[in-house]
Amino acid sequence: MRLPLRRRSRIASIVLVDLNPRKREAAAARASEGINGAGTQEEVARRLTAACGGAVEAVIALVGAGVTARAGFASLRQAGTLVLVGLYGRDLSLPLPIMATRAFTVRGSYVGTPKELREVVALVRAGRLPPIPIATTPLGEAKAALERLKSGAVVGRLVLVNDGRF
């Protein structure tokens, strides 16, 4: 979760868009707002811009689902940036004339730079970032764990632990 980085940056607000109410509650607990990601891209974009008080400077699509990426794009202000991190979605159709006339940037980001990683590790070591919630599941329940991940029921990370049967 990158939400705690807000306190160390010039970001005015961070809003989490998610289908899962538990994840929205977790975002609120980290000094952010969580809004419901269900509905059409227009409905989600409307909720996002309302939560931010207007069009947004940047959207980071962590899951990469089509509807949320398109809603993020629709929420951008002039010269805004959409960063695609998640690998879940298939494709993203964008209106090319609007891309040019509004000077949008769409970029992918699979990992950060080594310098950024060192900075985040230093923050963690200094105790300035709260830990990511981690739950464990026996390796024998891997299929169920994947279904929980797919359905969005996991907040944070899920680690499979070899329970000795494998």
Q: What is the pLDDT along the chain (166 residues), one digit of tens a residue?
A: 334 444 444 556 778 787 778 877 877 776 567 778 788 888 888 988 988 888 999 888 877 777 778 888 999 999 999 988 877 777 788 888 988 899 999 988 776 777 887 888 888 888 887 778 889 999 889 999 999 888 888 888 889 888 777 6
Range of the structural domain that residue 110 is part of: 3-131
Stated as kind and residue range, the H or E segment containing 3 is none
Q: How many angstroms separate the CA atoms of 58 and 55, rounded?
A: 9
Query: Are residue 32 and residue 60 in the same domain, yes or no?
Result: yes
Task: State the pLDDT at residue 38.
Answer: 80
Query: Are residue 100 and residue 120 in the same domain, yes or no?
Result: yes
Query: Are residue 35 and residue 102 in the same domain, yes or no?
Result: yes
Count: domains in the chain: 2
Query: Are residue 95 and residue 28 in the same domain, yes or no?
Result: yes
Query: Are residue 79 and residue 113 in the same domain, yes or no?
Result: yes
Query: Are residue 33 and residue 83 in the same domain, yes or no?
Result: yes
Task: State the pLDDT at residue 62.
Answer: 77
Q: How far is CA 38 from CA 115, 117, 122, 165, in A?
A: 36, 32, 36, 40
Query: Are residue 118 and residue 81 in the same domain, yes or no?
Result: yes
**Nearest Cα residue to 105 out of 44, 65, 60:** 60
Query: Are residue 119 and residue 92 in the same domain, yes or no?
Result: yes
Query: Are residue 85 and residue 104 in the same domain, yes or no?
Result: yes
